[in-house]
Amino acid sequence: MSLRSIRSTEDYLSTIWNLKKENGKKGESSDIKPIRIKDIAEKLNISSPSVSEYVRKLAKTDKVEVIDRKGVILTEKGEKEAILIVNKHRIIECFLNQILEVDLKDAHLQSHDLEHVMELETIDKLFAFIKKNKGCNLDKCPFDEVCISPNSLNTIARAVES
């Protein structure tokens, strides 16, 4: 699989996961409400027909389930992969923002690029460095509760691969 294809898949999964979490914050039942194609298209700045086509490809890999005329939901496999991606992003972002003092907006943008190419071993080392040197208060990142330890990331990664 090409880096471009991996990046697209990761972008879709993390976008669907983030939209699911946003729905939960609005008081909607985020666990069962499908995410609309229109909302994914808007977040990714891609046309709805293109999103529909890519989502069908993701469904063939058992990462999402398409609910006709309603949208998509993450499967267990897709949820695990999305959490892995989101956590990689957050650890990189915390390192850039809280250790290197990169502006949060810039750290977010750079993290988006780096999350697709950094190996889990590197993420583990980043996380260890953060904890040893300054400590990155992952709770203070402008996100919700998903950040977890690198050992858990490796466990999730193995589950995704199986």
Q: Can you give the residue ranges of every domain in the chain?
A: 3-74, 84-161
Whether the pLDDT of residue 41 is over 70: the answer is yes
**Do the Cβ atoms of 136 and 142 come closer than 8 Å?**
no
Q: What is the DSSP letter of 143?
A: S
Q: What is the mean pLDDT of the chain?
A: 81
**Hey, what CATH topology would domain 84-161 get?**
Diphtheria Toxin Repressor; domain 2 (1.10.60)
Name the 3-class secondary structure at 73.
strand
For range 79-91, the mean pLDDT: 90
Closest CA to 85 of 9, 162, 161: 9
For range 38-61, the mean pLDDT: 96
pLDDT of residue 94: 86
pTM over the 0.85 mark: no
Of residues 83 and 134, more confidently modeled: 83
Q: How confident is the model at residue 20 (pLDDT cuts 50, 70, 90)?
A: very high
Share of the chain above pLDDT 70, in %: 75
Helix (H) or strand (E) holding 72: strand 71-74
Based on the number of CB atoms within 10 Å of its own CB, is 57 exposed (0-12), middle (13-18) or buried (19 or more)? middle
Q: Would you state the structure tokens that stand for residue 77, as one six-digit string? A: 């496999």
Among 46-55, 86-95, 110-119, the range of highest mean pLDDT: 46-55
Q: How confident is the model at residue 45 (pLDDT cuts 50, 70, 90)?
A: very high
Q: How confident is the model at residue 97 (pLDDT cuts 50, 70, 90)?
A: confident
For range 136-151, the mean pLDDT: 48
* CATH code of the domain occupying 3-74: 1.10.10.10
Helix (H) or strand (E) holding 142: none
